[in-house]
Every structure is written in C-alpha cells, then in structure tokens.
Amino acid sequence: MNINTSAKTETWLWLGQRLSAVVLAVCVVVHIVTMIFAMRGGLSTGEIAGRVGGNVWWLTFYGLFVLSVSVHAPIGIRAVLLESTPISARRIGLLCMIFGLFIIVFGIKAVIGLYQLGPV
C-alpha cells in the first residue's frame, strides 16, 4: 500500500478533514439535542433502541456520523502525531489508517446492531 505524504495527498487529507468536520458539526448537534429533548424515561438502552431500532433515517444518520468520524479522527491524530512524535510519517500513516478502519468496522457494526433490534 502506498502511503505517501506528497503535498497533493496532504491537501486532500486536509480538505477531507474540514469537510468531515462540517458534517460532524451538524451530526453532533442533532445527536446531543436528541439526547436532551427526546429523552423521556432517562437515558436507557430500551429508550435508545426504541427510537433508533428499525428506523432507516436514524440508520442513515448514524451511518453518516460514523463515516465522518472515521475520516475526521484519523487525519487529526495523524497531524498530532506528525507534530509531536519522532515516529516516521509512513508508520503514522499506517497507524491512522488502521485506526480509521477500526472506527468504520466497529461503528457501522454498532449502528447496524441497533437498527436490527427493531422497534421495541
């Protein structure tokens, strides 16, 4: 796998992180507002599953949320590691790619898992 750090690649990574930040800003607000206002009987598994389970809109929303995080977080952590550690750029690139894949796989698994619970 070629993980180069050319100016072109870095520019795309930078743009990817900014665009994912825009999506995240909306997602985080919707997520928090929902948590605060849609909550009735306390923050319980039953209530969350009741709202999200079997709902295609929430499936899409949280799917998008997870995808944005999987783009945003690894690029940010890559920048932090590049600036503050002596680890080579190649290794940092690999580490962050694995981290991004970890978020996608387990994040999407969780989102689908909640959806499959169906309406409670």
Pick one of 49, 64, 73, 82: the residue that binds another protein (CB under 8 A).
Answer: 82
Cβ closer to another protein: 11 or 116? 11
For the chain, the maximum distance between any two Cα atoms, rounded to a whole number of angstroms, is: 52
Report d(CA 42, CA 35) in Å as an integer: 10
Q: How far is the CB of 61 from another protein (least distance, A)?
A: 27
14 vs 106, beta carbon nearer another protein: 14
Q: Is 2 in the site for another protein (CB under 8 A)?
A: no
H or E stretch covering 102: helix 89-116
Alpha helical stretches, state H, 38-86 = 45-52, 56-84
> Which of 14, 26, 94, 119 is the binder for another protein (CB under 8 A)?
14
Nearer to another protein, 16 or 63 (CB): 16
User: How far is Cα 51 from Cα 31, in angstroms, rounded to an integer?
Assistant: 12
User: For residue 74, how many other CB atoms are within 10 A of its CB?
Assistant: 25
- Binding residues for another protein, rule: CB under 8 A, are 5-8, 10-12, 14-15, 79, 82-84
